[in-house]
Amino acid sequence: MIASPPTPDLGLFGPHSTVWHVDREIAVLLGSGSRALMLQVAHPKVAAAVDAHSRYRSDPLGRLRDTLNSIYGFTFASMPEVDRILGHIHHLHTHVRGRTAGGEPYTALDPHLLLWVYATLIDSSLLAYETFVAPLTLAQREQYYADLRRVGPLWGIRPSDFPDTLVGLRFWMADRIRSGEVHVSPQGRYVGRFLLEPKGWWLPPPAALLLRQSTVWQLPPSLREGFGYSWGPRREAAMRSLAALSRAIVPRLPHALRDLPTARSAYRRVRRAEARAAAGGVVPGALPPR
């Protein structure tokens, strides 16, 4: 595992990290966000928590904004802002508890559920990067996981709960599905389909359809069926062609077009920190060449 970044301006990871390299891409957000949410609510306890405690129906845009601000703030923000985000989320989680429709208790502070949610974000981001941006080496994938595993305890996940490798994490996820622990309950199906097909959609219909098809394509087949989505050879071929086209185009785009605004802001913050350090006679060399 890597050491913590040396200055608050670098945040938890910094610009040399594989986390910044992967998560800065707009294509990763578009390709991973909905999939991660669907995987999360495929766990009956998570679905029950979202249904009872989230404002996904009353304020879907506000909920989406807050979720993205938290996730990408955690990734790219300076340490003071990361601390604020984590404190706010922990406060919210202390109030999220209840029972599923089947009577099983849940709490948002359960490390096992937190690991499932965290794992869906890791797995979905890596899958989206390799599907829509470019291949990664085994070392890059494992470093991405190692970076996020290192900071997992900040979310309340015990270090001993993490598998040692990304391969192990993905095996653990698949085993949760095979065992039936993760399956699409009626409540999960309702929540998942509402999240993927909200009544008041803010995207143009063609873009919304493309996002939905991309999400459904990337779901494990058993969960895809559980949510009530069908699939076939023609859709498979169409999505494979679209992904190949994306991999051909995205790496050739300038970073001003392909990077998230949050990521661009983080790189600017680090450059300012480097300039201050250089003015003081220190050359930290924090920014990699882009």
Burial of 19 (0-12, 13-18, 19+ CB in 10 A): buried
Please provide the average confidence, as pLDDT, over all residues in the chain: 91
Give yes or no for residue 4 having a pLDDT over 80.
Answer: no
Cα dihedral sign for 221, 222, 223, 228? Answer: positive
Residue 286 within a domain: no
| 3-class state of residue 107 by DSSP | strand
Q: What is the mean pLDDT of residues 266-290?
A: 73
Residue 187 within a domain: yes
Residue 290 within a domain: no
User: Could you report the per-residue pLDDT of 165-177, keeping only the tens digit for each?
Assistant: 999 999 999 999 9
Tally of CB atoms within 10 A around 235: 14
Give yes or no for residue 2 having a pLDDT over 70.
Answer: no
Residue 196 within a domain: yes
User: Could you report the per-residue pLDDT of 134-171, keeping only the tens digit for each?
Assistant: 999 999 999 999 999 999 999 999 999 999 999 999 99
pLDDT band at 214 (very low <50, low <70, confident <90, very high): very high
pLDDT band at 282 (very low <50, low <70, confident <90, very high): low
Domain of residue 14 covers: 8-279
Task: Count up the domains in the chain and report the number.
Answer: 1
For helices 205-218 and 186-196, give the axis angle rounded to 10 degrees: 140
Residue 185 within a domain: yes
Radius of gyration of the chain (CA): 19
122 or 289: whose pLDDT is higher? 122
Distance in angstroms (rounded) separating the CA atoms of residues 121 and 152: 12
CA 134 to the chain's CA centroid = 18
Q: What is the mean pLDDT of residues 4-24?
A: 87
Residue 288 within a domain: no
Distance in angstroms (rounded) separating the CA atoms of residues 168 and 147: 15
5 or 264: whose pLDDT is higher? 264
| 3-class state of residue 97 by DSSP | strand
pLDDT band at 198 (very low <50, low <70, confident <90, very high): confident
Give yes or no for residue 276 having a pLDDT over 70.
Answer: yes
- Find all residues with CB under 8 Å of 11, minimum gap 6, and list them: 5, 75, 76, 77, 78, 79, 82, 266
Helical segments of the chain, H only = 18-23, 26-41, 44-53, 60-76, 79-93, 111-132, 138-151, 166-179, 186-196, 205-218, 221-226, 233-249, 255-258, 261-279
Contact 27, 250 (CB under 8 A): yes
Residue 61 within a domain: yes
Is the whole model's pTM more than 0.95, yes or no?
no
- Entry field: residues in the chain: 290
User: Could you report the per-residue pLDDT of 65-115, keeping only the tens digit for each?
Assistant: 888 899 999 999 999 999 999 999 999 999 999 999 999 999 999 999 999
Written as one letter, the residue type at 253 is: L
Give yes or no for residue 3 having a pLDDT over 50.
Answer: no
Residue 152 within a domain: yes
SS (H, E, C) 176-217: HHHHCCCCCCHHHHHHHHHHHCCCCCCCCHHHHHHHHHHHHH
- Find all residues with CB under 8 Å of 290, minimum gap 6, and list them: 255, 267
